[in-house]
A and B are shown apart, each in its own frame.
Chain A
């Protein structure tokens, strides 16, 4: 097997699996279809994972492959680029998708076509990570988007349909602007491949430069919509909180991060991204704070988690922006990009676990209201969970997302905050880490013992596969925490060909941060107890669910375009 067929396997194998399921659905019985579903999942997830273990060696040796799909010898074809970045992104997707799919077997949407769409989404994620062609990026984002609308709508609740529709209209409109941006860049460069665009932009001046900058702004903002930074995050809360638990886990864990990192390839070629990076860092910083405040004001378990995703993606975007601001060729920029990726990995694991465990717990209790939901552990035991997998998995994920040792999040967040020092947005990150703990303490109350004993008996949601998926995620969280330094070295080394040196974070010491974490934790506990014992909490909370209106969504979209365009055009900087 050539290296091309190995790294393309996460693209074509899931599609093959999806086709197999569709065929068996129409030709064979239900029972046979179910067998084929497992077989297809094996083909789609496990085989690429095995293929990727063969790729670790080439990636560590900084081996890059630039290829054109098919055998065309022209720039007209579609360029794919395999390097450390795509390796890491696809591995992230595979590692999260496998437990999510296992979890969905028992709890998730039971439609016959769920696995088909799930597999196609996985293929589109892999293609997005690999592509080095602007129009192909558009197509991949479209496939990714359309699968997520359908997955959200598969919840069969009316609210889910509405959220899915909101997301569909908002992101489909944004994709039109992406397409206009693509048109602009093609017009001035005559090519859709990133490297040819980068070559062409060197000989630009006057109005052509303006066109190039505006096109880039349109593309970046449309992609940021998928990442859901404030002010573009209005669609996320409804979509992620109303989707089935497994889908929420995947959307919050993987889907909001891939487009952001796929953009790196394009931005890498654009010299002088300081200003753009700085704007992104601020957007990220503001997202962290606003997201967590909105989460604190929520009394609906899954909406709290969804707002927290906005807050957590803010960390990633802030680090990513600062990496661009310092330039990826510098040591600091390279490290920041690696940390942004690592943090998204740690958040993906933690948030997927949280959505799954909280989903199971609230299903067992029968309510998602944080004031009424209590005694999740005893309810789960009543449903046949002998060993408290759900509780333990929740605890580990809670530790990770609140940046407490020993889980991966502790290292991820602290190294990230350590490196972003010196930028104004860092202070926002520090405040957020206190509030994050408060928000998750609030959520944890569903596991407190209940005063009234529930009488309702629902069907058992326990199964070997669900427990297995929780075990996989939990052990990844712990393993990542224990071998974090090694993991970080690996990621930095793998990402090195993106233009940076093989820098390591030597000046950072975790012992110092343990003290800081202690202070943060005590602050958080203080706020939490003041909040929960007094009336303050009730008064602070919003009564109604979020009202999402299209004028507000598009206002956010236009606002970000205006800010970016003004900064880049008037103050100059990019390209």
Chain B
């Protein structure tokens, strides 16, 4: 009886939701062209970014990007809070299979020399690539978020690969970079208010030979913010230092 009811409910939910969204998705209405044409003609001159996507998300609609950065910040903060609690409870329990160098134990069967060698050699290369994606976001596909995630994975590689803890895998250092870049992001966003170019307006628009300067600045800040915060979370998940 309970099972039948469950199945009936499930069918009802799927049916209604499908009926509600299919007409929206399968609409035959012609695609809107106003924004596309506007971007085609003006995006480069407005923002200086060759990559139109970055002119949208760091130019015209930068507030949305700030919102998404906040979502990331809050969810990582929340995750760290839960992780710290779990760590406090399970202090005596077996360490997780991937453990950091200072905590290396005999039980860590999955942490082999092969992993260490590959990860430590890959780390710097990936890091460089991450910064490339981050810095060239205004020209080619990429940008702060993507570059940041690549930087984070590079830091995870380094954390897995090196015996001794380096500055780059130290959660305290990463946390400092994270908080500073968040502060700079907020200041960059609000400074327009005091420079007569409005909230999230470009305060350094004039007087620079590099036309996409504001977008590059935002890409770097967001990249550092995303990279360090995700790296801190990954290191904490691997059972690394709980300096948070």
Tell me whether B176 is interfacial, beta carbon within 8 Å. yes
Q: A5, A70, A111, A189: which contacts B32 (Cβ < 8 A)?
A: A189
Contact A555 B24 (CB under 8 A): no
Q: Is the CB of A561 within 8 A of B199?
A: no
B35 lies within 8 A of A191 (CB)? yes
Q: Are A15 and B186 in contact (CB under 8 A)?
A: yes
Is B45 close to A, CB under 8 A?
A: no
Given that A12-B190, A19-B179, A70-B201 are contacting pairs, would A558 and B27 also be in contact in the complex, using a CB cutoff of 8 Å?
Answer: no
Tell me which residues from 111 to 126 in chain B have a Cβ below 8 Å from any Cβ of chain A: none
A162 at the interface (CB under 8 A from B): no
Contacting pair A76 B61 (CB below 8 A) = yes
Minimum C-beta distance from A512 to chain B (A)? 45
Distance of A397 Cα from B70 Cα, bound (Å):
35
Interface of A, secondary structure class, is helix
Give min CB distance, B54 to chain A, whole Å. Answer: 14
Residues of A near B70 (CB, < 8 A) are: 15, 120, 123-124, 143
Which residue in chain A gives the minimum CB-CB distance to B7? A551
- Which of B13, B23, B74, B197 has the largest count of A CB atoms less than 10 A from its CB? B74
Q: Which of A190, A551, A562 contacts B33 (CB 8 A)?
A: A190
In the complex, A367→B225 CA distance in Å? Answer: 43
Contact B21–A74 (Cβ < 8 Å)? no
> Within the complex, which residue of B63, B85, B175, B197 is in contact with A71, where a contact is CB–CB below 8 Å?
B197
Question: Would you list which residues of chain B between 38 and 71 have a CB under 8 Å from chain A?
Answer: 38-39, 42, 46, 56, 59-64, 66-68, 70-71
Do B81 and A184 have beta carbons less than 8 Å apart? no
Contacts of B176 in A (CB 8 A): 26-27
Q: How far is the CA of A75 from the CA of B82 in the complex (A)?
A: 42
B75 sits at the interface (CB 8 A): yes
* A555, B13: Cβ atoms closer than 8 Å: yes
Chain B residue nearest in CB terms to A151: B78
Residues of A within 8 A of B189 (CB): 12, 15
A116 to B78, CA, bound (A): 11
Contact between A558 and B78 (Cβ–Cβ < 8 Å)?
no
Q: Are A70 and B67 in contact (CB under 8 A)?
A: no
Q: When the two chains form their complex, are residues A214 and B20 in contact, meaning their CB atoms are under 8 A apart? A: yes
The reply to whether A142 and B67 contact each other, CB–CB distance below 8 Å, is yes
B24–A208 touching, CB < 8 Å: no
Query: Judging by beta carbons under 8 Å apart, are B12 and A4 in contact?
Result: no
Given A4-B198, A150-B81, A181-B24, A187–B9 Cβ distance below 8 Å? Answer: no
Asked if A23 meets B183 with Cβ closer than 8 Å, knowing A69-B200, A150-B75, A211-B29, the reply is yes
Known contacts A218-B20, A218-B21, A561-B17; A70 and B186 CB within 8 A of each other? no
Contacts A71-B198, A113-B81, A136-B67; A16 near B27 (Cβ below 8 A):
no
A536 within 8 A of partner (CB): no
Contact A140–B21 (Cβ < 8 Å): no
Q: B74-91: contact bitstring with A at CB < 8 Å (1 yes, 0 no)?
A: 110110111001000000
Interface positions of A from 491 to 550, Cβ below 8 Å from B: none
Q: Count of A-B contacts with CB under 8 A?
A: 213
B-chain residues with CB within 8 Å of residue A387 when the two chains form the complex: none
**Of the residues B23, B80, B179, B194, contact of A22 by C-beta under 8 Å:** B179
Pick the contact of B186: A12, A191, A562 (CB < 8 A). Answer: A12
Interface residues on B, range: 35 or more
On chain A, the residues within 8 Å of B81 by CB distance are: 111, 113, 150, 153-154
Q: Are A183 and B24 in contact (CB under 8 A)?
A: yes
* Interface membership of B192, Cβ < 8 A: yes
**Cβ-based interface call for B204 (8 A):** no
A23 touches B60 (CB 8 A): no
Asked whether any CB of chain B lies closer than 8 Å to the CB of A554, the reply is yes
**Which residue of B61, B74, B80 is within 8 Å of A146 (Cβ)?**
B74
Q: Which A residues from 51 to 67 make CB contacts under 8 A with B? A: 67
Find chain B residues with CB under 8 A from A75 CB.
34-35
Mark contacts of A1-29 with chain B using CB atoms, 8 A cut-off: 1 yes-contact digit, 0 otherwise. 00011001001100110111011011100
CA distance A186 to B9 in the complex (A): 32
Main secondary structure on B side of the interface with A: helix
A71:B78 contact, CB within 8 angstroms: no
Specify which of A67, A127, A558 is in contact with B13 (CB 8 Å cutoff). A558
Task: Check A555/B9 contact, CB under 8 A, given A187-B31, A190-B34.
Answer: yes
Q: How far is the CA of A147 from the CA of B200 in the complex (A)?
A: 23
* Residues of chain B within 8 A of A77, CB atoms compared: 60-61
Nearest neighbor of A6 in chain B, beta-carbon distance: B193
**Measured CA separation A551–B12 after assembly (Å):** 10
The answer to whether B10 has its CB under 8 Å from any CB of chain A is yes
List residues of chain B with CB within 8 A of the CB of A142: 67-68, 71
A127 / chain B contacts, CB cutoff of 8 Å:
63, 67
**A561, B16: Cβ atoms closer than 8 Å:** yes
Q: Determine the chain B residues whose CB is within 8 A of the CB of A27 once the complex forms.
A: 176, 179
The yes or no answer to A88 lying at the interface (CB within 8 A) is: no
A76 x B39 contact (CB < 8 A): yes
- Chain A CB within 10 A, most for which of B31, B172, B197, B198: B198
Given A12-B186, A215-B24; A69-B78 close (CB under 8 Å): no
Q: Which residue from B31, B63, B73, B201 sits with its C-beta under 8 Å from A120?
A: B73
Q: Is A269 an interface residue when CB atoms closer than 8 A count as contact?
A: no
Question: Is there an interface contact between B182 and A551, defined as CB atoms closer than 8 Å?
Answer: no
Name A127-159 residues within 8 Å CB distance of B: 127, 135-136, 139-140, 142-143, 146-147, 149-150, 153-154, 156
Cβ contacts under 8 Å, A12 to chain B = 186, 189-190, 193, 199
A170-213 residues with Cβ-Cβ distance < 8 A to B are 177, 180-181, 183-184, 186-191, 207-208, 210-211
> In the bound complex, how far is the Cα of B20 from the Cα of A168, in angstroms?
22
Across the interface, which residues of B come within 8 angstroms of A156, CB to CB? 85
Would you give the shortest CB distance from B76 to chain A, in whole angstroms? 10
Bound-state Cα–Cα, A554 to B15, Å: 12
A contact residues around B56 at 8 Å (CB): 76
Q: Which residues of B contact A557 (CB under 8 A)?
A: 13
**Are B71 and A70 touching (Cβ within 8 A)?**
no
Is A335 close to B, CB under 8 A?
A: no
For residue B25, CB closer than 8 A to chain A, the reply is yes
* A78 contacts partner chain B, Cβ-Cβ < 8 Å: yes
Which residues of chain A have a CB within 8 Å of any CB of chain B? Answer: 4-5, 8, 11-12, 15-16, 18-20, 22-23, 25-27, 67, 69-72, 74-78, 111, 113, 116-117, 120, 123-124, 127, 135-136, 139-140, 142-143, 146-147, 149-150, 153-154, 156, 161, 177, 180-181, 183-184, 186-191, 207-208, 210-211, 214-215, 217-218, 551-552, 554-555, 557-559, 561-562, 565
Give me 19 A-to-B residue pairs in the complex whose CB atoms sit less than 8 angstroms apart, sorted by A's number.
Answer: A8-B199, A16-B186, A25-B179, A67-B198, A71-B198, A71-B202, A74-B38, A74-B42, A76-B35, A78-B63, A127-B67, A136-B63, A156-B85, A187-B27, A189-B32, A190-B35, A207-B29, A208-B29, A562-B16
Q: What 13 additional pairs, Cβ within 8 angstroms, besides A12-B190, A123-B70?
A: A4-B198, A22-B183, A26-B179, A26-B180, A75-B34, A124-B67, A142-B68, A153-B81, A180-B25, A211-B27, A214-B23, A554-B13, A558-B16
A-binding residues in B (CB < 8 A): 6, 9-10, 12-13, 16-17, 19-21, 23-25, 27-29, 31-35, 38-39, 42, 46, 56, 59-64, 66-68, 70-71, 73-75, 77-78, 80-82, 85, 172, 175-176, 178-180, 182-183, 185-187, 189-190, 192-194, 197-202
The 10 closest A-B pairs by CB, nearest first: A190-B32, A150-B78, A139-B67, A184-B24, A22-B179, A558-B16, A19-B183, A558-B13, A70-B201, A12-B190
